[in-house]
Structures are given as C-alpha cells and as structure tokens.
C-alpha cells in the first residue's frame, strides 16, 4: 500500500473516526435521515455542509454534474445542499455548444447554471479548448491556420460572452500536454503552434474580464515532467502578461497507482508564481470490489488532498467529479474500477465524506 502524506497518524485518526462513525450509524445518530434527527426535523438540512466548512477557510467545495442526472430529485437535493461550486461535466463542451459551425446551443449549460443560481452556487465553467468531445464539423476536415484561428476565436468569445457575469472561472484550455511534458499534438497545436494557448486566454479575457482563467489537466498533481511543463508555461505566460489566473489539477487518482505525495509542494510553487490553484475533478478510484480497507485508504487520500489544499493559501477550492458513485464516469472508462466518490451508489456518505469533513473542521 502506498504511504500517504500524513502516514500512520492520519490512518489511525481515520480508523478511529471511521469506528466512531460506524458506532453512531449503529446507534442511529449519524448518516442518512435518521442520523439527522439530532440536528432538526427528519430530512432537514444538516447544520454544516462541505460548502459551509470550506467557506470557513475561504475555500469552496464543489461537484461536477451532468444534465441527464438532473431528473433524479434525491440526487439534486444533495447537489443543491452540500456544495457551493458546480461544474457542468459535459454541457459546456464544444460538441454541445457549437454542434454546427457558427450555430450555438447553450441549453445544457444554461440548465445547470440556472439550477446552480437557484441554490446560490457558483460555476466553474468547463471547457473551451480541448482535443476531445469536439463536433464532427471541426474534426472531419483540415483547416489553414487563419481559418482555425477564426473558428477558435469565435467559439471562445461567443461562449464566454454568453456566460459573462454568470461564471466564476473558465477552464480555457484543457489537457494541453503529454505525460512527458511535450505539447499534445492536437488539431490546435498542429495548426496554430503553441501560441494558441496564449491567444485563447486573451480572447476569453476580452469576452469576460472578470472570469478567472485556468489551464486544467490530469496527472499534474505531483511534481514531474507534466506539471513541470505547466510550471514553465505559466511562468512564461505571466512574464508576458497573458491573462492566466490559475492552474486546475484534475486529480483523477487511483489507489493502485499511489498518492501524489508532492501535491502540496506542487500547489505551492504555482502560488509563488502568483497563480491560484484548484483541485478540479477529484475522484479516487479503486479496483473493484470495494473493501472496507480500500474505502479507508480512499478516505485517507481525500483527507490528505483536502489538507494539502487548505495548507496552501492560493489553493482556492476542491471539486469532486460528481459526488456519487451512481453517476461517476469511472466504471464506463475503466472496466473493473470504480467506487471513486465520497457518496456511494445509494447516495449514502462513505468514509471519504467523513474524512473530508474532518479535514475541513
């Protein structure tokens, strides 16, 4: 088992907390509606949510969501109660927002923005420039640099203008680097060169000067070639006064690959560049079946990554990539893996949920 940042002490604390939680559940005073009896009427909002706890540290606690799930009222109840930041998992992507060239459709994103506003939640908007989930009209042909630059600028500015004043931040460019720190050979990179990133940031800033602009990627939680590439790029962009506000570390973690023990150092070095950081798509998957031991280890990781964010001033918040295993992307993409989120498939909180609360307290 890979050791976590906080090692045995954290695990011992967690085990005790887990044991206590189990006892309380057994006694009918924690977890689920019965548990809430001591906090007020059954089904009442618990006294403190993850968002409340995070706000005491000047942070947010968010969740991704997706349009098809919004008909599940038990699901939307917790989504609306527990979090203060929402990310549309798919609804703001290029395939959804510009399905035909120059024809925009913001229905999916608008639905989520509307729901979030009704619950006084902010939006981390995701994402403007990405090699994946592009519409066919864009991928099916080749473009000259001038053509693609115009297409990209129009896409970014039309979408950012639409959501101007309604979103906290934008993931402007998503997943721009390979694991070895070289640029990913996307259609944008191949046609426009690396300058497409600075252009995208400038265009987005023109369209909504108040939105925080991020570069976002996975496997950049630890210090290593890929996060080094972001560090170098961010430094260069800052030196050139390109409007970049933050780096999003997705944090799609897997128990079998070990905890990124240099996470805190990594967050800190971006802070020193004058940038915000955020954990933007957190999940901690495992090889199924989930056992008590794996769930306890997962809880340790959630606790540790929450601690890491709280320990670095400019780490502004944490978003889980949906909150319940019922709607996790993991089982479909990694067959045989799952159980990655703090709530289980029945929408019951798991040890990870209590570990996050503990770290936030």
Residues that bind ligand 9MR (CB under 6 A): 66, 89-90, 132-133, 174, 218, 250, 281, 329
**What is the smallest separation between the CB atom of 232 and ligand 9MR, expressed in angstroms?**
22
Strand ranges for 200-266 from DSSP E: 212-217, 246-249, 252-254
Nearer CB in complex with ligand 9MR: 69/344: 69
* Residues 225/179, Cβ–Cβ less than 8 Å: yes
Cβ closest to ligand 9MR, residue 283 vs residue 300: 283
Instruction: Please give the structure tokens belonging to residue 136.
Output: 């066919």
Smaller CB distance to ligand 9MR: residue 95 or 104? 95
Work out the angle at residue 106's Cα, subtended by the Cα atoms of residues 103 and 110, and round it to the nearest 5 degrees: 170
Q: Which uninterrupted H or E stretch holds 20?
A: helix 7-26
Question: So which residues are the catalytic ones?
Answer: 175, 281
Nearer to ligand 9MR, 98 or 281 (CB): 281
| Strand partners of residue 343 | 324, 349
Closest CA to 124 of 266, 250, 228: 250
User: What is the rounded CA–CA span in Å between residue 196 and residue 257?
Assistant: 33
Please name the residues in contact with 153: beta carbons below 8 A apart, sequence gap of 6 or more: 199, 203
CB-nearer residue toward ligand 9MR: 250 or 261: 250
Q: Is 307 exposed, middle or buried (0-12, 13-18, 19+ CB in 10 A)?
A: buried
β-partners of residue 13 are none
- Provide, rounded to whole angstroms, the least separation between the CB of residue 241 and ligand 9MR: 28
- In whole angstroms, the minimum distance from the beta carbon of 326 to ligand 9MR comes to 13
Give the whole-angstrom CA distance, residue 126 versus residue 54.
22
For the chain, helix, strand, coil in percent to 5 are: 45, 20, 35
CB of 198 to ligand 9MR, least distance (A): 21
Task: Select 88 or 243, whichever has its Cβ closest to ligand 9MR.
Answer: 88
CA distance 143 to 149: 9
Residue 307 · residue 6 · CB < 8 Å: yes
């Amino acid at each position: 088992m890979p050791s976590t940042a906080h090692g045995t002490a954290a695990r011992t604390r967690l085990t005790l907390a887990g044991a206590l939680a189990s006892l309380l559940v057994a006694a009918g005073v924690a977890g689920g509606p019965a548990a809430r009896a001591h906090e007020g009427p059954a089904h009442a909002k618990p006294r403190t949510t993850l968002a409340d706890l995070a706000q005491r540290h000047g942070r947010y606690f968010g969740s991704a969501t997706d349009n098809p799930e919004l008909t599940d009222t038990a699901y939307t109840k917790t989504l609306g109660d527990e979090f203060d930041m929402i990310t549309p998992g798919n609804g703001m992507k290029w395939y959804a927002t510009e399905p035909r060239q120059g024809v925009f459709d913001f229905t999916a994103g608008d639905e989520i923005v509307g729901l979030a506003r009704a619950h006084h939640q902010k939006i981390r908007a995701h994402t403007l420039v990405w090699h994946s989930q592009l519409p066919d009209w864009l991928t099916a042909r080749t473009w000259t640099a001038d053509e693609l630059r115009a297409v990209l600028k129009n896409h970014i500015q039309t979408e950012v203008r639409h959501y101007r004043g309604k979103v906290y931040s934008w993931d402007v460019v998503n997943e721009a680097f390979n694991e070895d720190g070289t640029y990913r050979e996307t259609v944008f990179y191949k046609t426009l060169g690396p300058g497409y990133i600075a252009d995208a940031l400038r265009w987005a800033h023109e369209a909504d000067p108040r939105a925080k602009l991020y570069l976002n990627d996975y496997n950049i939680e630890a210090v290593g070639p890929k996060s080094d590439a972001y560090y170098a790029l961010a430094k260069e962009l800052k030196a050139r006064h390109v409007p970049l506000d933050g780096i999003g570390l997705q944090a799609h973690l897997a128990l079998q690959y070990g905890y990124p023990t240099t996470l805190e150092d990594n967050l800190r070095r971006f802070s020193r560049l004058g940038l915000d950081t955020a954990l933007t798509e957190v999940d901690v998957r495992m090889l199924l079946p989930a056992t008590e031991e794996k769930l306890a280890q997962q809880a340790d990781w959630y606790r540790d990554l929450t601690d890491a964010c709280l320990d670095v001033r400019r780490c502004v918040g944490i978003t889980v990539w949906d909150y319940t295993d019922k709607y996790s992307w993991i089982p479909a993409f990694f067959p045989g893996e799952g159980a990655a989120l703090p709530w289980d498939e029945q929408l019951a909180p798991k040890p990870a949920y209590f570990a996050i609360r503990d770290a936030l307290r």
